[in-house]
Amino acid sequence: MDRIKVADETWLATALLHREHPDRADFSISEIVDRAEREKLTPRLRPGVRVHATSHCVAELAPSPARLCMLHVSGPGRRRLFRPGDPIHPARAGGKTAPREADIPEAYRPLLAWYEREYLAGIWHEPPGESRDSLLDLRGSGREVWADEHADEYIERLRREWS
């Protein structure tokens, strides 16, 4: 392996953060960039790592230029590794979700097995508030609509108003 791809370096930094901080659901873009820099996979951190963590590797964003699906936007400026079921921009469908074994240094290849066997299989600890069901992610949304009254009373009032 001559030189690691920037996308693979970004994925490795994110995977390492997940392994090192199993109690955390996601990481800031700066944390991912800092982790890549500490790992020293290249002599100097390439500026492309930040761009890849921000957009190039993000499944739900329009491709620019690659169709990578390695990361998921979990909040403003926050990322985690991609999981099946995460939103994908239609133009990224079928894009690469993890590095190929041959493209990363041998010392990092166990991360691929961890990703497949634990992270994707759901065996890996999922921190509180991290759901794998987008419908469950809607929990609590709209609560301000009936903030001043009990939900059952709100429904009853709506039924009266609409009948």
19-58 residue pLDDT tens = 999 889 999 999 999 999 999 999 999 999 999 999 999 9
User: Would you say residue 52 lies in a domain?
Assistant: yes
User: Would you say residue 51 lies in a domain?
Assistant: yes
User: Would you say residue 142 lies in a domain?
Assistant: no
Nearest to 28 by CA among 71, 83, 67, 86: 71
Q: How many CA atoms lie within 13 A of 151 on its CB side?
A: 5
The Cα-based distances of 12 to 33, 98, 143, 162 in angstroms read 11, 9, 39, 55
Q: CB neighbours (10 Å) of residue 49?
A: 25
pLDDT tens digit sequence for 77-127: 999 999 988 999 999 999 999 999 999 999 999 999 999 988 887 755 555
User: Would you say residue 78 lies in a domain?
Assistant: yes
pLDDT at 156: 82
User: Would you say residue 40 lies in a domain?
Assistant: yes
CA 129 to chain centre: 14
User: Would you say residue 30 lies in a domain?
Assistant: yes
**Domain boundaries, position 107:** 6-127
User: Would you say residue 133 lies in a domain?
Assistant: no
pLDDT at 1: 45
* 3-class SS of residue 44: coil
pLDDT at 151: 73
* Cβ 31 vs Cβ 49: under 8 Å: no
Residue at 160: amino acid letter: R
The total number of structural domains in the chain stands at 1
User: Would you say residue 61 lies in a domain?
Assistant: yes
